[in-house]
Amino acid sequence: LGAAATAYGVWLRPPPTVSVVSPQRGPAVAAVYATGVVEPTGMLPIAPKIAGRLAQLFVDEGDTVQAGQVLAQLDAAELEQTLAELRSREAYAQRELTRSADLHQRQAMATRDYDTAQTNAETTRRQRQATEARLADTRLRAPTSGQVIRRDGEVGQMLPTGQTLFWLATTAPLRISAEVDEEDIPQIHPGLKVLIRTD
């Protein structure tokens, strides 16, 4: 009975539909497939000029930044204290120089002592300027406008001099890098049209 029921069901089922098309002449496409990545043609590494502990991050991957924008801040507490001390020493040296110049002009001070006061004032001024420059280097700034495409550091991490913290993609055009199978390389030549599809 089961076999009879199955046969009856098959007999009642409609026949499959078949579509008939006429062949047409046209160009055959020989395509080479490759998977790649979109990347900027210009990438800038941004690294600290001085060693220090990373105190703050102001941008992250994917952020667009402008030229001169502060991207990160190194710990600068020690340099700020040194700078405050040097400013006090510079002010004192400048007062001493003014007093020495007055005494030297009245011929009440030896030229050697006056020269020493000048040297002290100049030395403290240069030390203060050098410390200010080092303090400015604790702020990592974008050298040009672009987009942060990679960040290699976390707050609290000790960064040595020259270790790249950010990779910045400049406003240069993008490019696609794709690996073509070696069997397909003979088919590749300059000027070949390329169809790009993204996920």
Tell me the per-residue pLDDT of 100-120, one tens digit each, with 9 for 90 and over: 888 877 888 788 888 888 899
Residue type, 64: T
Residue position matching structure tokens 């046969």: 7
Q: Is the pTM of this model over 0.75?
A: no
Q: Predicted confidence band at 171 (pLDDT cuts at 50, 70, 90)?
A: low
**101 compared with 139, residue with greater pLDDT:** 139
Is residue 178 over pLDDT 70?
yes
What Rg value do the Cα atoms of the chain yield, rounded? Answer: 37
User: 40, 169 in Cβ contact below 8 A?
Assistant: yes
Structure tokens that stand for 78 in this block? 């020690």
What is the C-alpha separation between 134 and 160, in angstroms, rounded?
14
Give the pLDDT of residue 109.
78
User: 46, 67 in Cβ contact below 8 A?
Assistant: no
What is the C-alpha separation between 20 and 25, in angstroms, rounded?
16
Q: How far is CA 104 from CA 91, 93, 95, 120, in A?
A: 20, 16, 14, 16
Give the pLDDT of residue 29.
78
What is the C-alpha separation between 95 and 10, in angstroms, rounded?
113
User: 169, 149 in Cβ contact below 8 A?
Assistant: yes
Is residue 140 over pLDDT 90?
yes
Mean per-residue pLDDT of the chain? 87
